[in-house]
Amino acid sequence: MKKNITQCVLGILVAASSVITHAQQPTTIVGMEQLAWSEIAPGVWSAQIGEAEPMTFRELAGAPSRLDDMEAMGETEFPFDESQTHGQVIGTRTSVRLPLGLTEQVYGLGVQFRNMNRRGQVYHLRTDHYGGVLGRTHAPSPFYVTSDGYGVLFNTVKWISVYPGIGNRKDSTLPPIRDRTTDPAWQARPTSDAVEASAMTEGMEVIVFAGPTPLEAVQRYNLYFGGGALVPRWGLGFWHRVPTAATAEAVTAEVDEFAKRDFPLDVIGLEPGWQSHAYPGSFDWSPVRFPDPRGFVDAMGERDLKVNLWENPYISPTSSIFEEMKPYTGSHTVWLGEVPDYTMPEARELISDHHQKSHLDIGVSGYKIDEVDGVDSWLWPDHATFPSGTSAEDMRQTYGSQVQKWQSDMFRASDTRTYGLVRGSNAGASAYPYAIYSDYYNHKGFVTALCNSSLSGVLWTPEIRSANSDEEWVRRMQTVVFSPLAMLNAWSSGLKPWSREEVIPEIRDAMKWRVRFLPYLYTAFAQYHFEGTPPFRAMVLEPGYIPSKDEKGVLDDVSNPYAQAVRRDVTDQYMMGDSLLVAPFFMGQKERTVILPIGNWYDFYTGELAGNGEVITVPADLSFIPLFVKEGGIIPLLKEANNTSVWTKGVDLEVRHYGTEAGSTRLYDDDGKTFAYDRGEYSWYAINVEKSDRGKLKGSVLQSSGDFPQTFGKIKWKFMTE
């Protein structure tokens, strides 16, 4: 895997004979030291520049590294030329320089809403609500993966600026110099030979994750941070949030309407009004709207529904724990609430004890952690102070992770899995069972974020809130049911799935598919946990996928004054699990193109061959979201159901096979709700389809490992392409 960057560049220099070259051909990077790497986990190397930092993503991670699973991935070597890696500390700034090939592409850097390929843009990574500013986002993870099949984490919680393929040092191997006035081959930005990054800190750890493929690099990253979150089975059903001032009676009436109208529902989310005071929040139940919290949660439980509570972490003077929390809050208020310093054990203990007693002990299943990201003008300023001495920036960069941590620890201590939502996260959060969301509401941006989340070890939900038309309503619903968390967030709109009468069948159909995919999707989450494979994945992680290239730009004194190349990233389709390609329609589309990787791909609904390594066009129809299955793909489904609890009752499965070739997949099973899987209580089933000499397909299911008793019933086989 080692590459000689210098040779690549020289190839170009020889080819271009009529241009000016810099006189120097340097061999050393002035003032920077070569990094010293040591393997800290299988296929994972670390180098420390300067001083070790007191807080890193390792301490914020949700679980210990899954070293055995990493070991099982096989041996690998350091993925690029160590001699080309450099670091430097000057005053309070630490910088790092790693090599980058001339055609190497860079992916990741957190939940980004534009593009896939990060090469050629600067990212000032800051935790923030996304509002169109590159780099400021809900999970600004300083982790990237390249097309050459390795990953790099800058393991600092500081604000870091990353320069992937930006610029050239004067003492590096420089590309040829051309004259803009006369040479049509002049490049506005000469091809860069490095990824550079720096932060205001007196030291930084850099961690490299081997591949050899981009997907394997991501897997190692996730496993290093404890493996992906194995969410409870109920978390993969349909979620609905009620209007903010709803009472217990109103909520009960609303959920009963779901059953009456035959719409799926697994989780009901309460908004700020469940509290006695918000904003700022008291964290205490409203005696007016929820006089009997336990009775309410029990009533929901009887309907197989879980209760999720909206919260932001800023505490009201009216809270029952305000006086106790006061010594542990920062200098500034947020919505006049004080800001707990959750880096302090006293603050964590206080809030956990309160939430355990008031919420978890009566059956609350989890939280929606709002407003831990930004916008700047809502949160504390960069110069706010906190009693632990943690800086305001560090606090902002990690606040979402901190809340995920104390909540996750609380649920784990009760041997109860949770699944929730969070608006701010960062690197190292793979093991936290939270989907990130945003007040931003661009449908295409939401799907781009879904693709990018897979490259950073986080989950993302393109939640549906409202729509300007029936078409948008359907398109958003079809997308969210093929995402990590399928939710209608009607806190403000008050909408129900049946609110737009003309498209009730399409909405119901999409929601029911969500529940039907449970066996397939739950297995994908188990793979996330045990193998680090993201359940939803950008196409660049898919074998056989060929990323598109940049196109030559046209000079325009308004829109493109430097005639820069135009990037064509594919951000509107993604993989769910190992076999399914999802290509949502967007509002206004009469048709859309879908890029099929190399290999045969089949229409999910009909089993017909759709294409192979080509771009196909799919005519739009409101009734469906385009789904494709790869050759030999096997999809285990539930039969139609409205609640995921049917699985725990020995439900029959429908197993679909696509294509004309043999295939195999796996099915994961456990109790679906506790951490028993961590104690070995789970099973894997091998689902195989064999092809006889006469071309006849035949399926079988075998318990391949584990001794957890089977929870599903009979299998009905469907050979879709027969």
Distance of CA 18 to the CA centre of its chain: 47
Alpha carbons 310 and 211: distance in angstroms, whole number: 39
Q: Least distance (Å) from a second copy to the CB of residue 439?
A: 5
Q: Does 88 bind a second copy (CB under 8 A)?
A: yes
Out of 42, 101, 120, 400, point to the residue binding a second copy (CB under 8 A).
120
Q: Least distance (Å) from a second copy to the CB of residue 369?
A: 16
Q: Does 92 bind a second copy (CB under 8 A)?
A: yes
Specify whether the CB–CB gap between 577 and 522 falls below 8 A.
Answer: no
Which among 289, 283, 290, 293 is positioned nearest to 321, based on CA atoms?
283
Alpha carbons 611 and 607: distance in angstroms, whole number: 12
Q: Does 566 bind a second copy (CB under 8 A)?
A: no
Sole residue written with tokens 């190992």: 578
Q: Least distance (Å) from a second copy to the CB of residue 310?
A: 11
- Closer to a second copy at the Cβ: 24 or 623? 24
- Using CB under 8 A as the binding rule, the residues of this chain from 652 to 691 that contact a second copy are none
Q: Least distance (Å) from a second copy to the CB of residue 556?
A: 8
- What is the distance between the terminal CA atoms of the chain, rounded to a whole angstrom? 42
Q: Stretches 42-50, 168-176, 395-403, 531-539: which one binds a second copy (CB under 8 A)? A: 168-176
Q: Least distance (Å) from a second copy to the CB of residue 618?
A: 28
Out of 252, 331, 660, 703, point to the residue binding a second copy (CB under 8 A).
331
Which among 187, 185, 188 is positioned nearest to 18, based on CA atoms?
185
Q: Looking at 493-643, which runs of residues are DSSP E strands?
A: 536-538, 574-576, 580-582, 591-595, 600-603, 609-612, 615-619, 627-630, 634-638
Sole residue written with tokens 């739950």: 522
Q: Does 188 bind a second copy (CB under 8 A)?
A: yes
- Using CB under 8 A as the binding rule, the residues of this chain from 220 to 249 that contact a second copy are 244-245
Q: Does 132 bind a second copy (CB under 8 A)?
A: yes
Q: Which residues pair with 686 in a beta bridge?
A: 666, 702
Out of 40, 63, 122, 259, point to the residue binding a second copy (CB under 8 A).
122
Specify whether the CB–CB gap between 329 and 318 falls below 8 A.
Answer: no
Alpha carbons 162 and 446: distance in angstroms, whole number: 23
Q: Least distance (Å) from a second copy to the CB of residue 30?
A: 7
Specify whether the CB–CB gap between 306 and 267 falls below 8 A.
Answer: yes
Q: Does 385 bind a second copy (CB under 8 A)?
A: yes
- Using CB under 8 A as the binding rule, the residues of this chain from 142 to 161 that contact a second copy are 161
- Using CB under 8 A as the binding rule, the residues of this chain from 610 to 649 that contact a second copy are none
Sole residue written with tokens 């080819």: 15
Q: Does 544 bind a second copy (CB under 8 A)?
A: no
Q: Stretches 60-68, 228-236, 270-278, 396-404: which one binds a second copy (CB under 8 A)? A: 270-278
Q: Judging by DSSP bridges, how do beta strands 434-436 and 420-422 pair with one another?
A: parallel
Out of 117, 173, 329, 573, point to the residue binding a second copy (CB under 8 A).
329
- Closer to a second copy at the Cβ: 108 or 232? 108
Q: Does 716 bind a second copy (CB under 8 A)?
A: no
Distance of CA 47 to the CA centre of its chain: 26
Q: Stretches 169-177, 355-363, 535-543, 646-654: which one binds a second copy (CB under 8 A)? A: 169-177
- Using CB under 8 A as the binding rule, the residues of this chain from 363 to 382 that contact a second copy are 375-378, 380-382
CA angle (166, 171, 173) in 5-degree steps: 70
The site map against a second copy for 569-608 (x = CB under 8 A) is ----------------------------------------
Q: Does 107 bind a second copy (CB under 8 A)?
A: no
Q: Least distance (Å) from a second copy to the CB of residue 279?
A: 5
Alpha carbons 218 and 73: distance in angstroms, whole number: 12
Q: Least distance (Å) from a second copy to the CB of residue 504?
A: 21
Neighbour-count burial of 368, counting CB atoms closer than 10 A to its CB (0-12 exposed, 13-18 middle, 19+ buried): buried
Q: Least distance (Å) from a second copy to the CB of residue 258?
A: 20
Counted residue by residue, the chain has a size of 722
Residues 6+ apart with CB under 8 A from 260: none
The site map against a second copy for 21-60 (x = CB under 8 A) is -xx------xx-----------------------------
Q: Least distance (Å) from a second copy to the CB of residue 594?
A: 28
Q: Cα-atom radius of gyration of the chain, to the nearest Å? A: 26
Alpha carbons 573 and 511: distance in angstroms, whole number: 19
Out of 555, 652, 700, 705, point to the residue binding a second copy (CB under 8 A).
555
- Closer to a second copy at the Cβ: 148 or 370? 370
Q: Does 185 bind a second copy (CB under 8 A)?
A: no
The site map against a second copy for 405-444 (x = CB under 8 A) is ----------------------------------x-x---
Neighbour-count burial of 466, counting CB atoms closer than 10 A to its CB (0-12 exposed, 13-18 middle, 19+ buried): middle
Q: Least distance (Å) from a second copy to the CB of residue 386?
A: 11
- Closer to a second copy at the Cβ: 129 or 656? 129
The site map against a second copy for 494-533 (x = CB under 8 A) is ----------------------------------------
- Under rule CB under 8 A, how many of the chain's residues touch a second copy? 84
Q: Which helix (H) or strand (E) holds 448?
A: helix 443-453
Out of 76, 121, 308, 426, point to the residue binding a second copy (CB under 8 A).
121
Structure tokens at 53: 């930092």
Q: Stretches 171-179, 203-211, 223-231, 670-678: which one binds a second copy (CB under 8 A)? A: 171-179
Q: Does 186 bind a second copy (CB under 8 A)?
A: yes
Q: Which helix (H) or strand (E) holds 59?
A: helix 57-60
DSSP string covering 365-421: -EEEE-SSS--TTTS--TT---TT---HHHHHHHHHHHHHHHHHHHHHHTT----EE
Q: Does 14 bind a second copy (CB under 8 A)?
A: no
Alpha carbons 458 and 635: distance in angstroms, whole number: 24
- Closer to a second copy at the Cβ: 168 or 660? 168
- Using CB under 8 A as the binding rule, the residues of this chain from 450 to 489 that contact a second copy are 465-466, 489
Q: Stretches 180-188, 224-232, 356-364, 523-531: which one binds a second copy (CB under 8 A)? A: 180-188
Neighbour-count burial of 27, counting CB atoms closer than 10 A to its CB (0-12 exposed, 13-18 middle, 19+ buried): exposed
Q: Least distance (Å) from a second copy to the CB of residue 170?
A: 5
Specify whether the CB–CB gap between 577 and 520 falls below 8 A.
Answer: yes
Alpha carbons 367 and 351: distance in angstroms, whole number: 13
DSSP annotation of 598 reads: S
Residues 6+ apart with CB under 8 A from 324: 350
